Each structure stands twice: as C-alpha cells, then as structure tokens.
Amino acid sequence: MSEKIWFITGASRGFGRLWAEAALARGDKVAATARSVEGVADLAERYGDAVLPLAMDVTNREQVANAVARAHAFFGRLDVVLNNAGYALIGAIEEGKEEDVRAEFDTNFFGTLAVIQTVLPYLRDQGSGHIIGVSSVAGVVAHPMVGFYHASKWAFEAMHESLSQEVQGFGIKVTLLEPGAYATEFSSPASMKVAGGLEAYQDMRMQLFARGADMPLGDPRATVPAILKIVDAERPPLRFFVGTEGMPQAKAAFASRLSTWEAWEADSTAAQGESITRAVPV
C-alpha cells in the first residue's frame, strides 16, 4: 500500500486529531489544519516532515485557498481530504438568534463547501482523491432542541450526495462519516454552544442535558481501523455509520416516514393531476 497524503480540517482535537495521528502512525503524511497552528504544531515535532501544520479557519476563504495551495505544493498531491471542523448549536428553534445560526452554518456547511471547492481543481487534475465529510447521526434523523445542528448536517449530507455523483467521472470518491456519541471533546464549550434560554423550553432543555449525561459513549480509538479501511477501499461507501447509534435510529425514522408517505399516497397521486408535457428549450 503506497502512502497517502491527507488534508484534515479541525485536526487539533477530537476525531480530526485521532485520525491524523493514526494516518501518521502507519506512514501516511498529513497537512494538519486548525484555527491556531499551535494546536497541531506538536505533530510536526513528533513526525517531522510527514506533517505540515497549517493555521486555517474554514470560514475564511483566503486562508482555505492558501492552506490548500501550500499543502499541495509541499506534498505534491492530495489523496484524502477530511472535513472534520464543526460544532453544535443547542436550543429550540424559537430561541436561536439569526447571527448564531448563520455562524454555525458558516462553519459546518459553508466552511466545508469552501474546502471542497478549493481542492476539487487539484483532485480533478490528478484524476483521483477521496473527499470525506464528518457528518453525524444528526445528519440522518432529527430531535428537539438540536434543530440548527441537524439542519446544518442535513445540508452537509445533501451536498456530499450530489457531489459524489458529480465527481465520480473524475476518479474522485466521496464518503460521509456519521458518528454517534463518542468520548471526544464534542460536548466542550469549543464544540457546543447553547442558544436562548426561554422558560417555555426549560424542561425540554434539562431533559436533553440529562439524556446526554447518561448516554453511553463510544471509544474514539475503536474507530481507527474502520476509517483506515474506508480510506483504503477501492469502492468506499457513500455513507458509513460510525458506531452503533445510527442504524437503529435510521431504521425507525425511515419506517415512520414511509408509513406516513404511504398513508397519504392516494392524495399525493391525486395532487399530480393530468400530466403536462413541456418542450425543453434548446
């Protein structure tokens, strides 16, 4: 197996850090980005020229362009582009301030978009590459009090699904990783922000935090073999649940959706009316 060149956002902590270290430990090379280069500088101290530490805020297009260009110039190619940067905004839909919701989308969706749009010319030119987006079980199902995070991840998922169909002809692969709850820093203030505080939603908010406190958490280190297997696969999956939380939730959610659609199918069909054929402009 030849070495792979990784470009990782949010590499200073959590999954980004863990998977960067796993890649380096097996002999791959990593452009490790974080908002502060100090967060990834120690990787270069440990692994030397196999690591290129880069300061990059995904919400800053100029920094993204500079980081991608430097990584490509330094290593000569990019094989795995892992978009890991993101955070959760907690609160009822009524509670969210527009600027807070936009800030979450700027990181979770538009930041990822900036990286993807910047790396694609390089990947198309080399005729290969693997774009991996760290989504969440929250990108498949939705629960109360987490609606803004769900919305950012549902948009994230749709973008990657379309992307996978657009770039497959260029030899580029796309995978969505959908983790459940893990013992990472995701619940820290850096990765989770709380919106609002309306009394009407206080009980619901307390229930959410209580469930979170009692939730069994996966071991982040156990994810490494699966992630490396996906990276090395000739035909990696478009979607991959990381851990055991996703499959039961997805089955229940899709069964409920199908049941509702089927119950109203006659009305849906009637709403079609008589089909109309329009000439397509040339």
Q: How far is CA 183 from CA 34, 48, 187, in A?
A: 20, 29, 9
Give a yes or no: residue 86 inside a domain: yes
Residue 150 lies in a domain: yes
Q: Is residue 62 part of a domain?
A: yes
> What's the pTM value of the predicted model, to 2 decimals?
0.93
Does any domain span residue 270?
Answer: no
Show pLDDT as tens, one digit a residue, over the chain (282 residues).
589 999 999 999 999 999 999 999 999 999 999 999 999 999 999 999 999 999 999 999 999 999 999 999 999 999 999 999 999 999 999 999 999 999 999 999 999 999 999 999 999 999 999 999 999 999 999 999 999 999 999 999 999 999 999 999 999 999 999 999 998 876 565 667 888 789 999 999 889 888 877 788 999 999 999 999 999 999 999 999 999 999 999 999 999 999 999 999 999 999 999 988 887 776
Pure H helices in 168-272: 202-214, 224-232, 246-263, 265-270
Q: Tell me how many domains the chain contains.
A: 1
Residue 149 is part of which domain span?
5-245
CATH code for the domain of 97? 3.40.50.720
Active site residues: 135, 149, 153
By the 10 Å C-beta count (0-12 exposed, 13-18 middle, 19+ buried), 126 is classed as middle
In a domain, 269, yes or no: no
Is 137 inside any structural domain? yes
Instruction: Of 23, 156, 161, give the one whose Cα is nearest residue 79.
Output: 23
Residue 229 included in any domain: yes
User: Would residue 273 count as lying in a domain?
Assistant: no
